[in-house]
A and B are shown apart, each in its own frame.
Chain A
């Protein structure tokens, strides 16, 4: 539709900011907000290169206007017509034909949804061909090198008016009652899947959403492709983690994986366990974790619900990759850890409680108040509290020193108040141990103070000595 484009795009596709005017630089840092305001919502597509001459399609009659026996053939003809791809970057070209294709696609979507007996064997290759022609394309390179997935607006696909309908059509085709995977598998094969997976890198979130559904249906229906799909997703993730750190479709792929993991049969295959340890855990190290963390955490928790014995490697993995400089990530990790603890079995808990609470103890002392707050909030979780109570003799000594210290030293009063809650809980949990630790802590502190005092006195003595010596020899005080 003509009205969809918000602004006339230029042939030169990059409309994103390149140089910021000097007025934007404040304190040497360019003002990102100002830059964004100037940036228009850009579109791009590397799909079509203009041929020069206008495209002509002979209008076909509507399917509903044609008797039933003739419909299958008309259906095929329409599919073939829709293989023609238009250039949406040029807003003025082929307007009539674009509209014709759009309405044809619309018609096809309806047709596939309601009709019976239309799906002949000949239809399959034509459908796949039409879909392939429309959606498979080399994705344009990202407009700006500084594209920040969290902040900047994504570049949208210009041909979305047609593309959306193609996806819609394909999904309904796959979901149709008449759909037979045994026929379709000749055409929806590994090559098709591979190209589909590449499209997940699209910047357009609407497209990725459709792709997610498409791939999910394909995985569900084509048993023979499942192993291949899993392997390719592994490759994508591994490349993402270890080579490029760039891929826009991680969240969507993880969502699909979530539904797959949910359906794993027990006992879990070794392949799946490897996937967890070699792919999912390392995914946590990526800088753009916030974009897909919710989906990733869901996958992890699903795994643990399937096989609790995986708890130890998972938590050790998380602890190994614990963020050291990014507080935002630390908060995410703490959230995920809490979700894991929500489903943990007590026997598994006991295995990892020591390294776990050593890390929590560090988080609780963090000068970043959000990290400290999030960690302290664990004590408001009833199930976690019950686990801590059962093992207070191990956990309390680990937590004690940092809790006591922050109660005196932390700059944030809200944190100090939360620490009180935690200390109180511990006090009630295991009074004798608490008393012992308090006594030891106090005596340790006193010893430290004594040492400090001794050290200071020693230095003072040395200074005096130095002065005396200096004065004695030549009367000049050494500097």
Chain B
């Protein structure tokens, strides 16, 4: 697609994006909620979105599916107040709906699998019902214009302007960064075009390409995005990405995950801890030298070399006691 057409498409999307934004008041409400059993808080929404990402990755769904699912989720949550115990069902419904829109039929994971792998407590019929509810509330607008849409467009524009720079701007990386941002509810407040542009700029600054920066400015002016807005979101994006890339890992919350093993394995798991019946026999350092019956001299011949054999033939086991005493005085060879 040539540059002109791309810019036109950009414009069209820009004008439409507001229709797919989650209600800002709704999002703020969630953000301000403290940990509570009756309302969704930002923390539990974020955790759920991370779970969605795990499921997306596991089932091999595309980033597009994930981004769409998050969009549906946020739009729904901003509109309807639900109890935290239903959040799991809502989020998986959104994922499934998004997958139906984006993925090929053959790649669609059956709902039973989604529930089983995600260790969810609800049933397939619950899921179907929830899907209908969500679709209805969102006025059946399942396809959405998201930050990913813009990211793809920006990337194409950048490509079309400088073909030899293709390697430097990685779409996969941008997608991964977008995913990282989406795991925090605050970024759902951003306009997708602005969020995408912030990401693009962040990456361009990383590769330090003057040409690319030009292109970014060009896009910004074309869409009439204000500097202030861009700066605000760029800062937030930068912070988020530095956390994401930091070597300190967030401790996996594996306590929440169920580890179900088969009966046989479970039986064998703890049969290993053998409790010793016999009391410990301490080794004295004066052990061997005390007695005349010592055979230790034979052993120490192979001090550090592991190649020497144990059980030397210097003295056979059936050697009579009185003869052995005599032999002991002869020099022993290694």
Q: Are A425 and B254 in contact (CB under 8 A)?
A: yes
Spot the interface stretch: A62-70, A416-424, A454-462: A416-424
Q: Are A228 and B295 in contact (CB under 8 A)?
A: yes
Task: For A231, give its contact among B57, B260, B295, B300 (CB under 8 Å).
Answer: B295
Q: Are B272 and A226 in contact (CB under 8 A)?
A: no
A428 at the A/B interface (Cβ < 8 Å)? Answer: yes
A54 at the A/B interface (Cβ < 8 Å)? Answer: no
Residues of A within 8 A of B274 (CB): 258, 294-295, 297-298
Residues of B within 8 A of A321 (CB): none
Tally of contacts, chain A with chain B, CB under 8 A = 188
Q: Are B278 and A212 in contact (CB under 8 A)?
A: yes
A259 at the A/B interface (Cβ < 8 Å)? Answer: yes
B264, B283, B300 pick with most chain A CB within 10 angstroms: B283
Give the docked Cα–Cα distance between A373 and B260 (Å). Answer: 9
Residues of A within 8 A of B304 (CB): 270
Give the docked Cα–Cα distance between A418 and B279 (Å). Answer: 40
Spot the interface stretch: B37-45, B184-192, B242-250: B242-250
For chain A, residues 250 to 277, give those with C-beta under 8 angstroms from any C-beta of chain B.
255-256, 258-260, 262-265, 269-271, 273-275, 277
Q: Are B271 and A377 in contact (CB under 8 A)?
A: no
B139 at the A/B interface (Cβ < 8 Å)? Answer: no
Residues of A within 8 A of B245 (CB): 432
B258, B288, B295 pick with most chain A CB within 10 angstroms: B295
Task: For B296, give its contact among A227, A389, A431 (CB under 8 Å).
Answer: A227
By DSSP majority rule, is chain A's interface helix, strand, loop, or mixed?
A: helix
Shortest CB-to-CB span from B92 to chain A, Å, is 14
Give the docked Cα–Cα distance between A447 and B318 (Å). Answer: 70
A227, A259, A380 pick with most chain B CB within 10 angstroms: A227
Residues of B within 8 A of A373 (CB): 261-262, 265
Residues of B within 8 A of A397 (CB): none
Residues of B within 8 A of A189 (CB): 293, 321
Given contacts A227-B296, A238-B311, A370-B264, contact A413 B116 (CB under 8 A): yes
Given contacts A231-B299, A408-B60, contact A263 B283 (CB under 8 A): yes
B106 at the A/B interface (Cβ < 8 Å)? Answer: no
Give the docked Cα–Cα distance between A424 and B59 (Å). Answer: 12
Q: Are A224 and B284 in contact (CB under 8 A)?
A: no
A335 at the A/B interface (Cβ < 8 Å)? Answer: yes
Task: For B259, give its contact among A219, A263, A339, A377 (CB under 8 Å).
Answer: A377
B54 at the A/B interface (Cβ < 8 Å)? Answer: yes
B4 at the A/B interface (Cβ < 8 Å)? Answer: no
Residues of A within 8 A of B285 (CB): 265
Interface size class of B (residues with CB under 8 A): 35 or more
Residues of A within 8 A of B50 (CB): 428
B281, B294, B302, B321 pick with most chain A CB within 10 angstroms: B281
Give the docked Cα–Cα distance between A185 and B264 (Å). Answer: 49
For chain A, residues 182 to 221, give those with C-beta under 8 angstroms from any C-beta of chain B.
185, 189-191, 194, 212-213, 216, 219-220
Chain B 284-325, CB-CB to A under 8 Å as 1, else 0, gives 110110111111101110111010111100000111110000
Residues of A within 8 A of B281 (CB): 216, 219-220, 259-260, 262-263
Give the docked Cα–Cα distance between A430 and B281 (Å). Answer: 47
Q: Are A335 and B272 in contact (CB under 8 A)?
A: yes
Give the docked Cα–Cα distance between A112 and B268 (Å). Answer: 42
A329 at the A/B interface (Cβ < 8 Å)? Answer: no
Given contacts A270-B304, A392-B249, A417-B116, contact A225 B310 (CB under 8 A): no
Residues of A within 8 A of B268 (CB): 331, 335, 374
B53 at the A/B interface (Cβ < 8 Å)? Answer: yes
Q: Are B54 and A424 in contact (CB under 8 A)?
A: yes
Residues of B within 8 A of A335 (CB): 268-269, 272
Q: Are A235 and B265 in contact (CB under 8 A)?
A: no
Q: Are B311 and A235 in contact (CB under 8 A)?
A: yes
B250, B272, B309 pick with most chain A CB within 10 angstroms: B272
Q: Are A234 and B310 in contact (CB under 8 A)?
A: yes
Given contacts A259-B280, A263-B281, contact A271 B259 (CB under 8 A): no
Residues of B within 8 A of A106 (CB): none
Task: For B293, give its contact among A190, A265, A380, A389 (CB under 8 Å).
Answer: A190
Q: Are A277 and B306 in contact (CB under 8 A)?
A: yes
Nearest A residue to B275 by beta-carbon distance?
A: A298
Q: Are A271 and B296 in contact (CB under 8 A)?
A: yes
Q: How many residues of A contact B (CB 8 A)?
A: 79
B282 at the A/B interface (Cβ < 8 Å)? Answer: yes
Task: For A439, give its contact among B53, B172, B284, B306 (CB under 8 Å).
Answer: B172
Q: Are B54 and A389 in contact (CB under 8 A)?
A: no
Residues of B within 8 A of A295 (CB): 274
Task: For A389, give its contact among B252, B287, B318, B321 (CB under 8 Å).
Answer: B252
A369 at the A/B interface (Cβ < 8 Å)? Answer: yes
Q: Are B291 and A223 in contact (CB under 8 A)?
A: yes
Chain B 91-130, CB-CB to A under 8 Å as 1, else 0, gives 0000000000000000000000000110100000000000
Give the docked Cα–Cα distance between A262 and B251 (Å). Answer: 36
Q: Are B311 and A231 in contact (CB under 8 A)?
A: yes
A97 at the A/B interface (Cβ < 8 Å)? Answer: no
B176 at the A/B interface (Cβ < 8 Å)? Answer: yes
B331 at the A/B interface (Cβ < 8 Å)? Answer: no
Q: Are A298 and B54 in contact (CB under 8 A)?
A: no
Give the docked Cα–Cα distance between A417 and B321 (Å). Answer: 66
Task: For B284, give its contact among A256, A265, A379, A385 (CB under 8 Å).
Answer: A265
Residues of B within 8 A of A423 (CB): 54, 57-58
Residues of B within 8 A of A273 (CB): 306
Q: Are B310 and A389 in contact (CB under 8 A)?
A: no
Give the docked Cα–Cα distance between A425 and B320 (Å). Answer: 64
Q: Are A255 and B276 in contact (CB under 8 A)?
A: yes
Shortest CB-to-CB span from A251 to chain B, Å, is 10
Q: Are A256 and B278 in contact (CB under 8 A)?
A: yes
B180 at the A/B interface (Cβ < 8 Å)? Answer: yes
B257 at the A/B interface (Cβ < 8 Å)? Answer: yes
Chain A 287-306, CB-CB to B under 8 Å as 1, else 0, gives 00000001101100000000
Give the docked Cα–Cα distance between A275 and B302 (Å). Answer: 11
B277 at the A/B interface (Cβ < 8 Å)? Answer: yes
B326 at the A/B interface (Cβ < 8 Å)? Answer: no
Residues of B within 8 A of A213 (CB): 278
Give the docked Cα–Cα distance between A392 and B251 (Å). Answer: 12
The 8 closest A-B pairs by CB, nearest first: A224-B291, A263-B282, A224-B293, A262-B280, A428-B252, A259-B278, A425-B252, A435-B176
Selected A-B contacts with CB under 8 Å, 21 pairs: A216-B278, A224-B294, A227-B295, A255-B277, A263-B280, A263-B282, A265-B282, A265-B285, A269-B300, A271-B296, A279-B310, A298-B276, A374-B265, A377-B269, A380-B259, A385-B252, A408-B60, A420-B58, A423-B57, A424-B254, A438-B57
Chain B contacts to A: CB under 8 angstroms: 50, 53-54, 57-58, 60, 116-117, 119, 172, 176, 180, 244-245, 249-254, 257-262, 264-265, 268-269, 271-272, 274, 276-285, 287-288, 290-296, 298-300, 302-304, 306, 308-311, 317-321
